[in-house]
């Protein structure tokens, strides 16, 4: 499969696409610019600055959205308004929040990485609906994609330098536990970054320096590959009215010779449907 280009190269480091019906379109981040981007039905791109970093976002059951910025979790009712602080995850200036997602109970998990990618300096945090922040996992390097299986009993997770997608067991009482390897990405295929899960339990993982998104079955078998013309593929998410379109974000950050489309948003119709985004219950 080949993805079509939807926008110009509007982001330096595009990441974290999210489709929510109440948003009337797709939102994603230009992470290191600290901006949330919005694809309007007209095709126009809205841009909203939320902080020094815009790491990840999710809709809220109370309305609006929760956003992970450089060190904080903030909330806002609508694009363009000044975000309100909900909780601070960390204060170390050498570390920033990076990527995350919500579990079926509405808790928001978000991981970190060191700006200089120091091995083991990252942490996976859990933000509960009441604003409490706790540590779930330490010793990670680049905490990246995180998404749950259709029944919520498993969660798939990437710490990019491991070259793997790992899987956790998950339940409402224990949370994430029993981490183990799920699939290993060949070194010459790129580095696993963001991911999403489809309604059949398949895993779609973006490959940094791999110019592709790989699709694995719920059993871990490689099913298909989406090819893109740019090297650094960062994340993907299902959207559209029927959740049958896969939106893919890309980056030109740190690329000495980027393709002209690096930083653009892409789309493919892969023949399966995705899952509705799990909102934050706060």
Positions annotated as catalytic residues are: 193
CA–CA distance, 33 with 209 (Å, rounded to integer): 21
Q: Give the angle subtended at the CA of 96 by the CAs of 14 and 172, to the nearest 5°.
A: 90
CA distance 99 to 17: 11
Residues in the chain: 282
**Are the C-beta atoms of 179 and 186 separated by less than 8 Å?**
no
Task: Give the DSSP per-residue string, 124-175.
Answer: EEEE-TTS-EEEEEEEESBEEEEEE-TTSSEEEEEEGGG-EEEEEEEETTTE
SS3 state at 188: helix
* Alpha carbon distances (Å) from 98 to 5, 109, 167, 256, 271: 25, 11, 19, 22, 30
Q: Is 189 helix (H, G, I), strand (E, B) or coil?
A: helix
CA-to-CA dists, residue 77 to 65, 80, 130, 246, 277, angstroms: 6, 9, 17, 26, 18
Structure tokens at 37: 């981007």
**Rg from Cα positions in the chain:** 17
Q: What span, in angstroms and rounded, lies between the C-alpha atoms of 99 and 87?
A: 16
Dihedral (Cα; 259, 260, 266, 269), 10-degree rounding: -70
């Amino acid at each position: 499969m080949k993805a079509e280009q939807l926008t110009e190269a509007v982001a330096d480091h595009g990441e974290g696409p999210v489709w929510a019906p109440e948003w009337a379109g797709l939102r994603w981040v230009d992470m290191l610019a600290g901006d949330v981007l919005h694809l309007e039905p007209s095709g126009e791109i809205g841009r909203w600055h939320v902080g020094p970093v815009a790491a990840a976002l999710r809709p809220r059951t109370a309305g609006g959205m929760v956003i992970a910025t450089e060190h904080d979790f903030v909330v806002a009712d609508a694009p363009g308004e000044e975000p309100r602080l909900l909780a601070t995850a960390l204060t170390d200036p050498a570390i920033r929040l990076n990527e995350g997602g919500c579990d079926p109970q509405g808790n928001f998990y978000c991981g970190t990485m060191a700006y200089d990618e120091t091995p083991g300096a990252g942490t996976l945090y859990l933000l509960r609906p009441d604003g409490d922040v706790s540590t779930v996992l330490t010793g990670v390097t680049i905490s990246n994609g995180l998404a749950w299986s259709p029944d919520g009993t498993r969660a798939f997770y990437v710490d990019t330098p491991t070259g793997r997608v790992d899987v956790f067991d998950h339940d409402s009482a224990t949370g994430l536990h029993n981490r183990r390897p799920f699939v290993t990405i060949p070194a010459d295929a790129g580095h696993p970054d963001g991911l999403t899960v489809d309604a059949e339990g398949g895993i779609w993982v973006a490959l940094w320096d791999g110019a592709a998104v790989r699709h694995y079955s719920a059993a871990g078998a490689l099913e298909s590959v989406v090819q893109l013309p740019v090297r650094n593929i960062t994340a993907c998410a299902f959207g559209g009215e029927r959740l049958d379109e896969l939106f893919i974000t890309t980056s030109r950050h740190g690329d000495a010779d980027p393709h002209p489309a690096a930083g653009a948003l892409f789309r493919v119709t892969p023949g399966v449907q995705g899952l509705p985004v799990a909102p934050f219950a706060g």
